[in-house]
Amino acid sequence: MPDKLNYTISSSARFIICGILSLILIVCDSHFNYFKDLRYTLESWLTPVYYVANIPAALSRGVSESRYSYQELLRENNFLKSEISDIRVDLLRYDSLMEDNERLRRLSNSPLQDDFRKIGAEVIMVDTNPFSLTVMINRGLNDDVYEGQPVVNEEGVVGQVISVSKSVSRVLLLSDQNHAIPVVVLRNGIRAIASGTGVVNELSIVNMPRNVDIREGDLLVTSGLGGKFPRGYPVARVSAFDRREGLQFAEIKAQPTVYLDRLRHMFLLWVPESEREDIYGGLTPAADGAGEGRRDNADGAQKPENAGGQP
């Protein structure tokens, strides 16, 4: 009986000691960032595990795609033909618009902007932390990926790279609460800061006066200021505008043009080094009176204070 009691006491003591050590490690990691390098190294070593873990999902997708019936494929084919026809109609004016654009550039002596180098990437893991909207992609140092690198897809801006290991990287999504990006309203050129709210498909346009000329449905595109994101990429559409009396600033919400909860493929862009801004440098600036400085920490590492650079 005493032996059994001693065993119970010993087990309880071990449990308490393990709990205390776990809390100490969590605090050290979240507040003092002691294990960042170790974590990224482990992620590199565990990359094969991520791929193996992704196999069931890939097989499931393959099975689902193979179950398409002939009628479903036929309807999809007809829809795509219709879309292609619409695009061809839109492209009828492309050459004329390019000519006009070239003429205007010559008049203003404005140089043409070269295309950016880009490479495709695929999501291999989604962060389950509800307070951090990040995904892991299958590109890393082996592909010359760098911290702060802009990430887009065919619909617009996705976010930016926040950590890089040998063959994988983490991407901070546009709507994460630690992300902000300088934008302009395509309709009238008003500059603003679009900040993440922590809700996966929602952004907030901060510190804009109540009489600002922004409307629901306005398209927001990257301003190109600060050197983080190239200009002209779609970011979001204004979804709500509240200018009630008594509010110091207008409450403006926007929906990203990219469905961030359905990401699978994306592109990494290479901004010339001379135009890049340090991912950790500076504070989020004001744009025409919009935006306030901020410095955030998440995932145990300092996140970019200004996810789009200084306007």
Region label for 268, one of left (φ > 0), alpha (ψ between -120 and 50) or beta (otherwise): beta
3 state SS of 158: strand
Per-residue confidence (pLDDT) for residue 157, from 0 to 100: 93
Region label for 163, one of left (φ > 0), alpha (ψ between -120 and 50) or beta (otherwise): beta
Q: Are residues 23 and 134 in the same domain?
A: no
Retrieve residue 98's tokens.
């390019």
Number of domains the chain contains? 3
Residue closest to 187 by CA, chosen among 211, 212, 162, 210: 212
Per-residue confidence (pLDDT) for residue 181, from 0 to 100: 95
Return d(Cα 217, Cα 194) in angstroms, integer: 15
Per-residue confidence (pLDDT) for residue 203, from 0 to 100: 97
Q: Are residues 211 and 92 in the same domain?
A: no
Domain of 38? 2-64
Per-residue confidence (pLDDT) for residue 294, from 0 to 100: 35
Q: Are residues 171 and 231 in the same domain?
A: yes
Return d(Cα 186, Cα 204) in angstroms, integer: 17
What counts of helices (H) and strands (E) characterise the chain?
5, 14
pTM score, two decimals? Answer: 0.58
| Phi, psi torsion values for 113, nearest 5 degrees | -90, 125
Low-confidence stretches of the chain (pLDDT < 50) are 5, 110-112, 279-311
Per-residue confidence (pLDDT) for residue 246, from 0 to 100: 75
Considering 108, 137, 168, which residue would you say is the last residue of a domain? 108
Per-residue confidence (pLDDT) for residue 291, from 0 to 100: 35
Q: Are residues 137 and 264 in the same domain?
A: yes
Domain assignment present for residue 113? The answer is no
Q: Are residues 240 and 93 in the same domain?
A: no
Q: Are residues 49 and 103 in the same domain?
A: no
Domain assignment present for residue 150? The answer is yes
Q: Which residues contact 17 (CB under 8 A, 6 or more apart)?
A: none
User: On the CB side of 103, how many CA atoms lie within 13 Å of its CA?
Assistant: 6
Per-residue confidence (pLDDT) for residue 304, from 0 to 100: 41
Q: Are residues 199 and 301 in the same domain?
A: yes
3 state SS of 144: coil
Per-residue confidence (pLDDT) for residue 82, from 0 to 100: 79
Alpha carbon dihedral 176, 171, 55, 61, in 10-degree steps, equals 60
CA angle 260, 308, 168 (to 5 degrees): 55
